[in-house]
Amino acid sequence: IEPAMPDLGASPFAQPEIKPQPAPAQPQSVPAGGIRAGGPMFDVLLAGFTLPPNFNSLPENMQKVHKDAVKLARQLAKDILLYHKDEVEKGMANGNIKESMKDEIEKSYKFYTQRIQPEIISGSNYFNEALNKIVAKGQKLF
């Protein structure tokens, strides 16, 4: 004979009743950072990159091309740092990062030039800026 289960007032398999709650109203003001929720994130994405002086007056599709170039440059720089961290640290410590990472940087740049329009590449320095920000940790080495 099994011992009797104590009466806890509810079945152990009973599901609590969930009442729907109305969603809180979304504020329409712009937050202190200047970016509205759901709005464009280019302020964050492009922060610190040298954009064309007329960037804000460019058509939306051209702004996207610039944003895509910055995103790709940043991702390639992050990949170099991620997959070659020890080599990067050694090159930074020895002061020869450009020489020690030459092959990886050239491979990444080749990939970059295959994906980004030539006029964007010739009119910007996004790839080198990303290397300086991410690989060289803010130093202007590239």
Predicted confidence (pLDDT) at residue 12 exceeds the cutoff of 70: no
Q: Is residue 99 part of a domain?
A: yes
d(CA 98, CA 122): 21
For residue 134, tell me if it sits in a domain.
Answer: yes
Structure tokens, 116: 């980004």
Length of the chain: 142
Q: What is the pLDDT of residue 87?
A: 96
List all residues 6 or more positions away from 105 whose beta carbon is below 8 Å from its beta carbon. 80, 98, 131, 142
pLDDT at 27 over 70: no
* DSSP assignment of 20-49: --PPPPPP-SPPTTS--TTS--HHHHTTTS
50-64 average pLDDT score: 88
Residue range(s) defining the domain that contains residue 141: 84-142
Q: What is the pLDDT of residues 89-135, one digit of tens each?
A: 999 999 999 999 999 999 999 999 999 999 999 999 999 999 999 99
The answer to the question of residue 24 being in a domain is: no
Can you give the pTM of this predicted structure?
0.68
Domain assignment present for residue 138? The answer is: yes
Query: What gap in Å lies between CA 32 and CA 102, rounded to an integer?
Result: 42
In a domain, 123, yes or no: yes
Q: Is it the case that residue 17 has pLDDT exceeding 50?
A: yes
Q: Give how many domains the chain has, as a whole number.
A: 1
Q: How far is CA 88 from CA 80, 109, 130, in A?
A: 8, 17, 14
Contact 113, 126 (CB under 8 A): no
Reply yes or no on whether the pLDDT at 41 is more than 60.
no
What does pLDDT average to over the chain?
A: 81
Residue 80 to residue 131: CA distance in whole angstroms: 9
- pLDDT over 50 at 14, yes or no: yes
Region 36-40 average pLDDT: 44
In a domain, 130, yes or no: yes
Q: What is the pLDDT of residue 33?
A: 42
Residue 34 belongs to a domain: no
**Residue 56 forms part of a structural domain:** no
- Predicted confidence band at 6 (pLDDT cuts at 50, 70, 90)? low
